[in-house]
Structures are given as C-alpha cells and as structure tokens.
Amino acid sequence: MTSIEKHPFSISLRADRLAFGDTLLFEHIEFELSAGKWTCLLGPSGVGKTTLLRLMADLVPDVENVSIKCSDQLPLSGRASYMAQQDLLMPWLSVLENVLLGSTLRKEVQRTERAHELLDLVGLLSSADDLPAKLSGGMRQRAALARTLMEDRPVVLMDEPFSALDAITRVRLQNMASELLQDRTVLLVTHDPLEALRLGDRIHVLSGRPVTLNAPLTPSGSAPRDLHDPEVLKGQADLLEQLAAADQMEVA
C-alpha cells in the first residue's frame, strides 16, 4: 500500500527528571515503542501523555535529562511524523497543497501524483482543490491523515487525532488509520479506552505525579478490533477502572 520501512526499529525514551516550574512531571521513567506496533498512552487529562509524545516529536524546547534512542542507532529526528487533535490544515492552501505541505517546506519535488493517490485512498480525491474550510471535521482529519501518509515516515506520533470527531466518524477514521498505518511504529495518545483497545498493540496507563506507567496491556488479535469483541469490552471496563483510580490519585 505504502512504501514500508525495510528495517523497522524500536524507540526507547528515558526521562531521568523533567519538571515544569515546581511540578515534577517525570522521574526515572522509561518506555518503549516496539517496532511496527501501535503503542497507546492512556491517562487522565493533564497527567503528561501529551508531554511524552511531544518529547518524542522533539517539540519540547530546552529539555535535559531526557534521551530518546532508536534500536538502529540512528537519530529519530526526521523519521517521525506528527498528527494532532486539530487537523492543522493551512486554511489558505487547498487540500492537495496541504497534503504536499511537507515537500513545500523542505523545498523538495512535489509528488502530486502520489498525493492524488493518497487522497483517493482516504476518499477525498474529489475535494483535492477545495479549501479546508469547505470540509467537514471528519474530512479534514482524513486530509490530515493523507498529509501524514505523504510524509511516509516509519514512525507516526498521534495526539488524540480522533477525539474531536463524532462517534461514527471516529470509528471510521480509526479503521482507516489502523489499516493505512498498519506496519508503522505508532504512538497514540488518547483519553478513550475503547480507542486504545481497538487500535493498540500495547496500552500504557499513566498516573500520578511524578508519572508512573503501568505494565502494558497487550490485547490479542489484530487491529482494528471489533467493537463487539468480548475482550475489547472487558478490557474497556478494566481500563476505566484503572483510569478512575489514576484520577483519584490525581485528586489526592
């Protein structure tokens, strides 16, 4: 479907100490993104999920005591693409131009044909020349997915990319993303246990201050998992319990 990284690599993040002001966010935490797998981070809001993702994406300026290592010994920089809760489409560019944004910013040759293919894949070919303002929320996030695929990077870092969508659109987009990003190393930050269970290969719950990560949950079967799957439903109940406990810790 898309050109897949020949040698998938895993990534490990180690934060010895990270504080913002007086708040000690991370102390001696380690976690790993397994090669070619989806890792999900769940946790109450404000716990530090997004910060972990932003550390991976090199979007936190001036950090010390945090190291990110890839198993192939190459730097992660330039090999990860980023998807946020907002679609981050540029309102002055057409959908097609938005998909091509990366190559524009890097002054590379514009692979318009490839962009068209990807827009077709996400069902937006007929909207290629429209401005984002004309698109619905789901269409916009699909355009963002096409833009992410266009970057064609082995690692994809996603920060609640589906949370602003309505339920039906969300399930569709989850399926689409799961299929299209199948063999990539994905970090998905989410507050929705069901989303994590449908898409994740490994699920971590974050809690407390400084943050602790629980031992990962590893749902069986391949993503996207069926909504009726009893294991998914049971997992959801368990995760909700864990999240409630984590939330309790937050309050205390």
Partner 1 sequence: MKALRALIIFVGLVVVWQTIVILTEVPFYILPGPWLVVKALIARSDVLFDHSWVTLSEIILGLLLGTVLGSLSALTLGYFRPARLWLMPILVVSQAIPVFALAPILVLWLGYGMVSKVAMATLIIYFPVTAAFFDGLRRTEPGHLDLAHSMNASRWTTLRYIRIPAALPSFASGLRVATAVAPIGAIVGEWVGSSEGLGFLMLHANGRMQIDVMFAALFILAVMAVTLYYAVDAGLKRLLFWSPESQSIET
How far is Cα 201 from Cα 218, in angstroms, rounded to an integer? 6
Minimum distance from CB of 178 to partner 1 (Å)?
21
Question: And the tokens for 199?
Answer: 């898409």
Binding site residues, partner 1, CB under 8 A: 54, 57-59, 77-78, 80-82, 84, 86, 88, 90-92, 101-102, 104-107, 131, 133, 151, 157
Nearer to partner 1, 79 or 209 (CB): 79
Nearer to partner 1, 20 or 92 (CB): 92
3-state SS class at 179: helix
Minimum distance from CB of 78 to partner 1 (Å)?
5
Nearer to partner 1, 106 or 234 (CB): 106
Count of all residues that appear for the chain in the document = 252
- What b-and-e string marks burial along 88-122, b requiring 16 or more CB atoms within 10 Å of the CB? ebeeeebbbbbbbbbbeeeeeeeeeebbbbbbebb
Q: What is the dihedral of CA 23, 24, 30, 35, to 10 degrees?
A: 10
Nearer to partner 1, 99 or 246 (CB): 99
Minimum distance from CB of 102 to partner 1 (Å)?
4
H or E stretch covering 144: helix 137-151
Nearer to partner 1, 81 or 174 (CB): 81
How far is Cα 130 from Cα 147, in angstroms, rounded to an integer? 15
